[in-house]
Amino acid sequence: MKKIYTLLLLLLTTAAAFAQTGRVTGQILSSGGQPAQSVSVGIKGSSKGDVSDSQGKFTIERLKAGAYTLLISFVGSETLEKPIDILAGETAEVSITLLESANQLQEVIVKGGNVYSNENLSPSLKLMTPILETPQNVQVVTSKAFEDQQIISMSDGLIRNVSGATRLEHWGDMYANISMRGSQIQAFRNGFNIVNSFWGPLTEDMSFVDHIEFVKGPAGFMLANGDPSGLYNVVTKKPTGETKGEASFTIGSFDLYRATLDLDGKLSKDGKFLYRLNLAGQNKGSFRPNEYNNRYSVAPVITYQIDEKTKLTAEYALQYAKMSDVGSYYAFSPEGYATLPRDYTSTPPGLSPTKITDHSIFVNLQHQINADWKITGQLAYLNYKMAGSSQWPWLVNPDATMQRGVGIWDARSEMTLGQVFVNGKVTTGGVVHRLLGGIDVGTKEYLADWAQSAPLDTLGGLFNPKDPFYGRPNAGYPVFDRTLNLEARAVQAGGLMDQKYTGLYLQDELGFLDNKIRLTIAGRYTSLSQAQWGAAPDKANHFTPRLGLSISLTKNTSVYALYDQAFLPQSGRLSSGEKVQPITGNNTEFGLKRDWAEGRWNTTLAFYRILKNNELTGDPTRPANSGFSVELGQKRAQGIEFDVRGTILPGLNLTANYAYTNSEVTKVTEGVEVAKVGDPVPGFAKHTANGWLSYKAQKGALKGAGISGGFTYQGDRATSTWSNTDNTYNLPDYFKLDGGVFWEKDKIRLTLNVFNILDKYLYSGGTYNFTTDAGNPITSYYWQAEPPRNYRLSIAYKF
């Protein structure tokens, strides 16, 4: 009984202490009425403060009753002062409008802030916690990095900005296929998982992309289901409320011609109705003959501020791609990697192009209930159509001669997705609760016909890669039967995939000691039905917990620990006839984050271990297109990641990272011979290191001129497939050096970059089992070469 009295007395004392304090919340706006992000708000004469989020919101807790002065400051601008009165047990709400416009604030960031990083996650990631306080490794690649490095597509050198990210064989610029922490990561756009098959989605053109967020590990707050290695979230451009525009033109090696236009403005005088329109078009050749990838995109966005608390945003994106046969990127030879010239191709002229049309619609409604609570609802519809073909040899001989084959690849992907989530803040005693709860639902369907194929060469006239002939193939060009509709053909081909899921998520982030210690307790319940390859649907219900701890050692330094889980039901056919088990995985992670020089640059150091069970791999006893798989057993990925990015000195910007990744098989299912315990997992590099340094002269005759350069290194590279050689690390180390110059003055920017300066023969690849024309088994190496030394020259004009 005495203990109960003591506890009651403690609770009453805490409540009384809380009743004697209050807090201040508010919103920072630009002169045009738009939310101002990354503005520092502090209490004069005190260390207490906050930084405004993407909505311009801020909160300062536990202030004793009395009169105070708020200090509002932004990098490179004058500090404002605003008096406030705090009453015991109450919340003071303020609204502050800066003299600068949204465009001017952005320019301040570019000139004096961290142009290569964001302090906060986008609202599409649901969390309202700053990245510094989030108990997980999250890296953001900004539009400034796109500009400096002349990144024009998701597959265009983007991953150099993120530790441990690699890219496997990729069918050109059709899909990104990014791996991290030992396996392929999930592709998101504006908070939605838009993966509908292994061969998608279509890579986004950077013309309508604002920035990209890489989340390492399961990320239960985002995934209803998914791979435990992580995700990347493409955040598209939105209206800013400022009337402005930018046009750019790019020319480059291998017949690259590209133009973009970005228009941003108001559709109503009161600024409640805004728009953004991004257009892009390009013709792009290749260093290989008969290869091209021409694209255009149209991406309009409108935003309507219904009232002071409610905003509606609707956006549409059309991407169209016309490219050569997607198998043109591969080279095959039983004699070893890179044994053919770098510009070699087996693709003849005259093959029908592959055409892809990708439509996406996103609608987002946000309502600010009060200063502490916000509800968001959003819908997405994506429709992707593809008509084309892919090359793959029918047979390969020891002398490298081959019979080329071309298979049809017609496909359609359709997704309807929805989310509703609530963010809120509640204070109980001395504990601040950041709450998140929501529902995530989706229906996905993928249809594909890849059952038809035809030879390009007769058995008496095989193709010789050492002396290629690019005239009319002696077996003629393939003629595919498209009489039946795609769905009927997909049924016959076994190319049907569908998925339906519902996920419920609830999270409480508890802040102790003025939010210096943050404990995250969360969980997701997922119900999912999934079918592939014509098999009956697999259904699963699963609960995945999430537990995180983040501690602020100082205002700019935090340490964190995380335990998170993921699961992913698999559909497939096992030779044994048994039911396929879902992938289950968990991630244990520890890290240290620090902002330096008032946030102008930051570092992240992370240690992790991921266990992944029951993943399917192709049945090595069956043909590659048979649809049969085997359950591997267990894989373990563990390693270290280090990232640094930001403005080190005025005009000097740096992005650099290093990752050590050890991904290997730890358990093998009985009877499986494709791998053994201790084998490295295909498709990763033990050591990856990247750097990009840019310097712009701040004064003098060279003011506005600059130089930039960067490198990518990968060591101990594993092949992209399970190797049947004794040494799976049979790819040489990879080193690529890029660099260039630029000049900026007023509204004009010129950029010239040279890529692969050392002109190295760079490639990635694996091995594949074929038969010879005599019917004997043979293993052939296959690889994809990267371009030789090449350049891009861009001119951009802002108006």
Residues 634-688 pLDDT 10s? 889 999 999 999 988 888 999 999 999 998 888 887 767 777 888 888 878 999 9
Domains of the chain: 17-111 (2.60.40.1120), 244-798 (2.40.170.20)
Q: Buried b / exposed e across 511-540, counting CB within 10 Å, b at 16+? A: beeebeebbbebebebbbbbbbbbbeebeb
User: Distance between CA 350 and CA 557 in Å, rounded?
Assistant: 60
Helix, strand, or coil (residue 145)? helix
Taking the CB of residue 107, how many other CB atoms lie within 10 A of it?
Answer: 13
pLDDT of res. 18:
43
φ/ψ of residue 18, rounded to 5: -65, -40
pLDDT of res. 798:
94
State the DSSP string of 121-142.
--GGG---S-GGGSSS-EEEEE
Q: Are 92 and 578 in contact (CB under 8 A)?
A: no
Predicted confidence band of residue 12 (pLDDT cuts 50, 70, 90): very low
Residues 516-557 pLDDT 10s? 999 999 999 999 888 877 677 778 888 999 999 999 999 899
Q: Are 768 and 782 in contact (CB under 8 A)?
A: yes
User: Distance between CA 300 and CA 725 in Å, rounded?
Assistant: 51
Sheet strands (E) in 33-100: 40-43, 49-51, 57-64, 66-73, 80-86, 91-97
Res 129 pLDDT > 50: yes
pLDDT of res. 14:
43
Average pLDDT, the chain: 88
322 Cβ neighbours under 8 A, 6+ residues apart? 292, 293, 294, 295, 353, 354, 355, 356
Q: Are 659 and 674 in contact (CB under 8 A)?
A: no
State the DSSP string of 612-653.
EES-EEE-TTS-TTS-EEEE-EEEEEEEEEEEEEEEEETTEE
Q: Are 203 and 173 in contact (CB under 8 A)?
A: yes
Amino acid at 174: M
Res 4 pLDDT > 50: no
Helix, strand, or coil (residue 397)? coil
Predicted confidence band of residue 197 (pLDDT cuts 50, 70, 90): confident
Helix, strand, or coil (residue 740)? strand
Q: Are 446 and 409 in contact (CB under 8 A)?
A: no
CA dist list (Å): 314 to 118, 365, 641: 24, 9, 37
Sign of the Cα pseudo-torsion (566, 571, 574, 576, in order): positive
Res 262 pLDDT > 50: yes
410 Cβ neighbours under 8 A, 6+ residues apart? 386, 387, 388, 448, 449, 482, 486, 489
What pTM was estimated for this model as a whole? 0.86
Question: In terms of DSSP bridges, do strands 91-97 and 21-29 run parallel, antiparallel, or are they unpaired?
Answer: parallel
559 Cβ neighbours under 8 A, 6+ residues apart? 550, 551, 553, 590, 591, 592, 593
User: Distance between CA 637 and CA 635 in Å, rounded?
Assistant: 7
Element (H, E) at 112: helix 102-112
State the DSSP string of 583-610.
EEEEEEEEEEEEEETTTTEEEEEEEEEE
CA dist list (Å): 392 to 330, 338, 402, 687: 9, 18, 10, 31
Query: Tokens 């009165």 sit at which residue?
Result: 85
